[in-house]
Amino acid sequence: MSKGIIDYEADRYCPAYKKAISADLCYDSLMCLNGSFKISSTPELSEIEDIEAARKRCAECPYSDLE
């Protein structure tokens, strides 16, 4: 479970979607927003109007730091 300040398994507020999302959707979305997967592989991303702004918010989001 949670080892640090961030609980990586819990739902979290996502600054890209601007709503709470599950850890699974975060991971899929993150991999698309960071260029690892195609944006089209996560259908929920079609809800986001400005993908470039979402990419920036995702890169700055603490949950995007998987190291």
Q: How many CB atoms lie within 10 A of CB 21?
A: 19
Question: Using CB under 6 A, which of 37, 39, 63, 67 touches ligand SF4?
Answer: 63
Which amino acid would we find at residue 24? D
Distance, in Å, from the CA atom of 26 to the CA atom of 30, rounded to the nearest integer, reads 6
Question: Using CB under 6 A, which of 2, 26, 31, 44 touches ligand SF4?
Answer: 26
Question: Using CB under 6 A, which of 8, 19, 35, 57 touches ligand SF4?
Answer: 57
Distance, in Å, from the CA atom of 45 to the CA atom of 34, rounded to the nearest integer, reads 13
Residues that bind ligand SF4 (CB under 6 A): 12, 14-16, 26, 29-30, 33, 57-58, 61, 63-64
